[in-house]
Each structure stands twice: as C-alpha cells, then as structure tokens.
C-alpha cells in the first residue's frame, strides 16, 4: 500500500476534480440536450475514465483486504465506477445508445461488486423475480417510500458533515475521522442510489434494444428494394425501350449527376400550375355556335325540304263578311273543344 502512495495522489486529485465537475452538472440550469451541457458531461466521463484506468494499473482494490487497509483518500476512489456510470447515463446522444447504457450498467455492477467484496456498505436486498413480494404493487411502493426516506436521512447527514468540514480547522485532531465518516456515508448513499438506477436502466436498455432492432429491420427492407428512379430528373428514360436493342434506354445522368447524353430542358411550370389551380368540374371547350357548326360539318344536321308556306294574310277591318266568317270559325272551334275535351279519344284512358 505504501508503494502506491505517490501514484494514488494524482488519481485522488483527478477524482476530486471529476467529483466537483459532476456536482456542478447536477446543479446546472442548462438543458440536458444543449451542447454546453453535453460538453461538460463528456469532460467528466473522460476524467473518470482516466482515473479508472490508473486504479486498474495500480490494482488498488482487492477482495483480500478490508476498508481499514485503505486510507480515506483511497476509500473515496471506490466511487469512481459509480460516478462514471452516472455520467454515462447523462449522455443524450441516440447513436450507440445501447452500448452507452450497457457500459453504464457494467460500471454500476462493478461498483456494487467492489463494495460487496470489501464489506464497505450493506446493500439492500431485492426480492427475487416471481415471488409474491416482487409482484405485489403495494409492497413495491412501500419499499420505494422506505428507500426514499433512508436516502433523504443519509443525505442530511452528509450535508451536516460537509458543513462541519467547511467550518472546522484543518488542524483539528478529529478531522481525519470526520473525513473518513464522510467517505463511508457517500458510499452507503451511492449504493442505495445505484440500486434504484439499475432498475430504471434495465427498462431503458430494453427500449434501446427494441429501437436498434427496428432500425436494422428498416435498413434491411430498404436494402432489399431496387433503387428507385421516381425522383430522378431523367426518370422517364428508364421506361423507354431502345427499338434497336430491345433494352431500356440509357439514362440521361449517371449516379454522380453527370450527363451521359444530350438532353433538352423544357418548362412545364405553367402546365403543372394549370393542372393544380383549376375547378373540380369539367369546363366547356367551345361555344354553342361552334358545336353546331361542327355537327353541321359532320352531317348530323338535316337541312333543306320544301317551300315554306306563305304567311296568313291579315283580314281587313272594313271587310265585315271576312270578319264574321272568322268569328264563326272561332265559335265552331270553341264548341268542338267543349264537346270533345282533351284526351276523350284515348281508348280506355278516361274510363270512369
């Protein structure tokens, strides 16, 4: 342990710096998806990975040792994997999300395993799956409430110790004991928090894996389809057949957009506009006179016939005989219509 005292000093400084940065991220008012927030998160992840690599090179922790074998500064380094898993969860990038969550879960598991081997903190027991306790919503809710109360009480104790460390002098003889108690309390609280985060992490991992499967299936379906020419400028050329070869005509452009044969640009803007902005019903294409003239040219209108009859001559007002004859003719017609009502000659039409 004494051989690693000097190298562990740099590890401790890096861990302290990462711990302060992570604390600042917790109190940040920035949006979690903002570039500045993500930049800070990636900085913490990089710093914690460097600390974890140095710890592994030093082989600092062993299951054959107890917490009494470590100094207070070395004991704090147990939190490196827990802090790294927490920082990884704050990365909002969807690219490689499954790998990020799996790495965070692995660090959480390593943290709990280290605490279990060293006997630093008692880990809360989780009910086995399929048991009555795990399937009872009321029991699960009561457990969550109890864990929340415990974490809140532990956080209050940590706040009190932090205030005492900031208030008391560095020469105080009891400061070493207070700092060690502070480190142990941090680890105990983190054990409870990691237990809660693991359950949420498993749910998020399932969703991320389902999203990956959906993306893979979508890519496979897209790859299996033939390349579409619908949106190409020369899409019409793919439907044309060369009469000499009997094959499809060569496209106007290649895949890089370079012309492969001469072509003529035509402006169909007005035609497309007219087809869009028009009434929903059929509009007349010619006038009535034009239609009749067209029908006359086709021979569908019969013309000709006999001589038109001369118009009926008007009766002179002084010709009383002609006037009387016309009156008598009208009276005879009125009598006939009275005696022969309209429709009277129809067979069976007016039977009573």
Distance separating alpha carbons of residues 67 and 118, to the nearest angstrom? 6
Q: What pLDDT score does 4 carry?
A: 42
Q: Mean per-residue pLDDT for 228-248? A: 54
Give the per-residue pLDDT at 3. 45
Q: Looking at residue 176, what is its pLDDT?
A: 79
Write down the H helix ranges in the chain: 5-26, 35-58, 72-76, 80-89, 97-118, 132-135, 137-167, 175-224, 235-238, 269-276, 288-298, 320-339
Tally of CB atoms within 10 A around 36: 10
Q: Tell me what percent of the residues of the chain surpass a pLDDT of 90.
A: 15
| Predicted local distance difference test score (pLDDT) of residue 229 | 52
Nearest to 80 by CA among 124, 122, 50: 50
For 16-74, the pLDDT digits (tens) are: 899 898 889 988 888 888 889 999 999 999 999 999 998 888 888 877 788 888 888 88
Phi, psi at residue 248, to the nearest 5°? -65, 145
Helix (H, G, I), strand (E, B) or coil at 352: coil
Would the pLDDT of 148 be above 50? yes
Closest CA to 41 of 94, 2, 83: 83
pLDDT tens for each residue of 188-231: 888 888 988 888 888 888 888 888 888 888 777 766 555 555 54
- pLDDT in the model for residue 188: 87
Note the pLDDT of residue 42: 92
Under the banding of pLDDT at 50, 70 and 90, the label for residue 330 is very high
pLDDT digits (tens, 9 = 90+) for 62-92: 777 888 888 888 888 999 999 999 999 888 8
Overall average pLDDT of the 96-117 stretch: 90
In 3D space, the residue among 294, 276, 277 whose CA is nearest the CA of residue 285 turns out to be 294
Summary mean pLDDT of the chain: 78
Question: Would you list the DSSP string of 59-119?
Answer: T---TTS-GGGS-HHHHHGGGHHHHHHHHHHT----TTHHHHHHHHHHHHHHHHHHHHHHT
Report the pLDDT value the prediction gives residue 119, as an integer from 0 to 100: 82
| Confidence at residue 310, expressed as pLDDT on a 0 to 100 scale | 76
Handedness of CA 112, 115, 121, 126 (dihedral sign): positive
Instruction: Give the confidence band of 289 by pLDDT, cuts at 50, 70, 90.
Output: very high
Confidence of residue 250 (pLDDT cuts 50, 70, 90): low
Out of 149-163, 220-234, 284-298, pick the least confident: 220-234
pLDDT tens-digit readout, 310-325: 777 788 888 888 888 9
CA angle 286, 288, 290 (to 5 degrees): 60
The pLDDT value recorded for residue 6 is: 41
60-74, 87-101, 236-250, 329-343: which range is least confident on average? 236-250
Q: Between residues 136 and 153, which one has the greater pLDDT?
A: 153
**Residue 334: what pLDDT?**
93
* Phi, psi for 48 (deg, rounded to 5): -70, -35
Helix (H) or strand (E) holding 280: none
Query: What's the confidence (pLDDT) of residue 173?
Result: 59
């Amino acid at each position: 342990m004494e051989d690693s005292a000097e190298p562990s000093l740099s590890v401790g400084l890096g861990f302290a710096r990462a711990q302060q940065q992570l604390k600042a991220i917790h109190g940040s008012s920035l949006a979690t998806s903002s570039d500045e927030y993500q930049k800070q998160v990636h900085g913490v992840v990089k710093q914690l990975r460097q600390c974890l690599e140095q710890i592994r090179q030093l082989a600092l922790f062993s299951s054959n040792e107890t917490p009494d074998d470590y100094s207070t500064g070395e004991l704090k380094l147990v939190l490196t994997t827990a802090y790294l898993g927490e920082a990884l969860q704050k990365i909002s990038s969807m690219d490689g999300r499954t790998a990020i969550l799996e790495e965070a879960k692995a660090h959480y598991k390593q943290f709990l395993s280290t605490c279990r081997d060293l006997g630093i903190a008692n880990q809360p027991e989780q009910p086995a799956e399929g048991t009555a306790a795990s399937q009872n919503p009321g029991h699960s809710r009561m457990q969550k409430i109890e864990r929340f109360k415990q974490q809140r009480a532990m956080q209050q104790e940590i706040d009190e110790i932090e205030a005492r460390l900031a208030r008391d002098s560095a020469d105080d003889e009891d400061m070493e004991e207070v700092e060690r108690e502070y480190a142990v309390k941090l680890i105990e609280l983190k054990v409870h928090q990691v237990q809660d985060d693991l359950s949420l992490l498993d749910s998020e991992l399932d969703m991320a894996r389902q999203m990956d499967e959906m993306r893979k299936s979508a890519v496979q379906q897209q790859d299996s389809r033939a390349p579409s020419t619908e949106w190409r400028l020369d899409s019409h050329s793919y439907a044309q057949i060369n009469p000499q070869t009997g094959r499809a005509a060569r496209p106007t452009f290649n895949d890089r957009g370079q012309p492969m044969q001469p072509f003529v640009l035509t402006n169909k803007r007005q035609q497309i506009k007219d087809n869009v902005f028009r009434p929903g019903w059929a509009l007349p294409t010619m006038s009535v006179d034009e239609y009749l003239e067209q029908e006359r040219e086709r021979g569908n209108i019969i013309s000709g016939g006999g001589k038109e009859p001369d118009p009926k001559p008007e009766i002179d007002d002084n010709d009383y005989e002609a006037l009387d004859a016309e009156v008598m003719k009208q009276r005879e017609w009125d009598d006939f219509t009275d005696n022969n009502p309209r429709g009277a000659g129809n067979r069976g039409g007016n039977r009573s």
